[in-house]
Amino acid sequence: MTGFARAEGNIDGIAWAWELRSVNGRTLELRFRLPNGWDSMEAGWREIAGKALKRGNVTANLTIKRQSETRLELDPAALEQVLKIATDLHRRIAGSPPPSAEALLSLPGVLRQAQADQQEERAAAAADVQAGFVAALGDLVASRQAEGERLAAVLTRQLNEITTLRDTAAEQAAGQPAAQRARMLDNLQTLLRETPNLSEERIAQEVAVLASRSDVREELDRLSSHIEAAHDLMREAVNIGRKLDFLIQEFNREANTLCSKSASAALTATGLKLKAAIEQLREQVQNIE
């Protein structure tokens, strides 16, 4: 499910801000983008988010800004790496100027916040930042719930459309077994006149089997049961996404069998409309937690 939330604050000269974004996903995937030195807090925040969310691709972005000047220090490994790259390029490009100290120091990662400042920053702001994360997470959940209420109306409308198509299919299929049986008997009687040695009893058994295979009442009854189960889940309204995923597979199973058993153009057309409506329902179910 989609949603967005933001929380920000300021403590001891340190300004922080959380931005949480959620898009649709079959499972829960959490991605944290944290400033240097805050990685140790991620495990706890993941646990908090995992208790509040069950599905979706969620990105949590934390920014930290110190309003006073921070003490910088050189990252020797980063400097060595960029110096080697810059020197190699200088040798390969004739007439290029040699790398300057100013240019190298301006590259990301070469200068970093002093470790002592990072530790002081976390100690001063950790509790406030975590409270902000919890607040933003609550707003994200509320945002997703609001979307869920809108989706509930869409799903109900789609389920009603499927119910109407199911009822239409029932009317069109009501006489199908008898019609199939009569049609096959007529054809076989013609065959018997031409080939009198065939056993009429055996032929009648085969006709009965073929007629039963064209009977779609069981599929329609199961489809009605699945529709009612979907409505029950909608009323339950708690962590129903995966249950609806499974149920939609059963919807598709019955629609496919209905089409394969159809013996009329009208029933086939209704079956195809039914499959299209179920596919639209499946797409919306992907948005449900």
For residues 97 and 41, membership in a common domain is answered with no
In contact, 122 and 61? CB cutoff 8 Å: no
List CB contacts of 118: < 8 A, sequence separation 6 or more.
Answer: 36, 37
For residues 13 and 127, membership in a common domain is answered with yes
For residues 7 and 136, membership in a common domain is answered with yes
Inside any domain, residue 201: yes
For residues 178 and 49, membership in a common domain is answered with no
Can you give the pLDDT at residue 116?
A: 46
Whole-angstrom distance, CA of residue 119 vs CA of residue 76: 20
Q: Tell whether the model's pLDDT for residue 212 goes beyond 80.
A: no
DSSP characters over 64-133: EEESSPPPEEE-HHHHHHHHHHHHHHHHHSTTPPPPPHHHHHTSBTTEEE-HHHHHHHHHHHHHHHHHHH
Whole-angstrom distance, CA of residue 184 vs CA of residue 38: 76
> Which stretch, 21-30, 63-72, 196-205, has highest mean pLDDT?
21-30
For residues 65 and 130, membership in a common domain is answered with yes
Last residue of a domain, one of 81, 105, 129: 105
Last residue of a domain, one of 49, 81, 105: 105
Inside any domain, residue 282: no
For residues 11 and 48, membership in a common domain is answered with yes
Inside any domain, residue 268: no
Inside any domain, residue 16: yes
pTM of the predicted protein model: 0.55
Can you give the pLDDT at residue 188?
A: 64
Whole-angstrom distance, CA of residue 97 vs CA of residue 8: 45
Pairing assessment for the beta strands 111-113 and 72-74 based on DSSP bridges: antiparallel
In the chain, the amino acid numbered 229 is: A
Pairing assessment for the beta strands 14-23 and 56-66 based on DSSP bridges: antiparallel
Average pLDDT in the 80-100 region?
84
- Taking only the tens place, the pLDDT of each residue in 186-207 is 666 665 666 666 566 656 665 5
Instruction: Report the domain count for the chain.
Output: 3
pLDDT band for position 43 (cuts 50, 70, 90) = very high
Inside any domain, residue 151: no
Tokens of 37: 């030195």
For residues 100 and 17, membership in a common domain is answered with no
For residues 131 and 207, membership in a common domain is answered with no
- Domain of residue 91 covers 72-105
pLDDT band for position 20 (cuts 50, 70, 90) = very high
Across 70-79, 101-110, 159-168, least confident range: 70-79
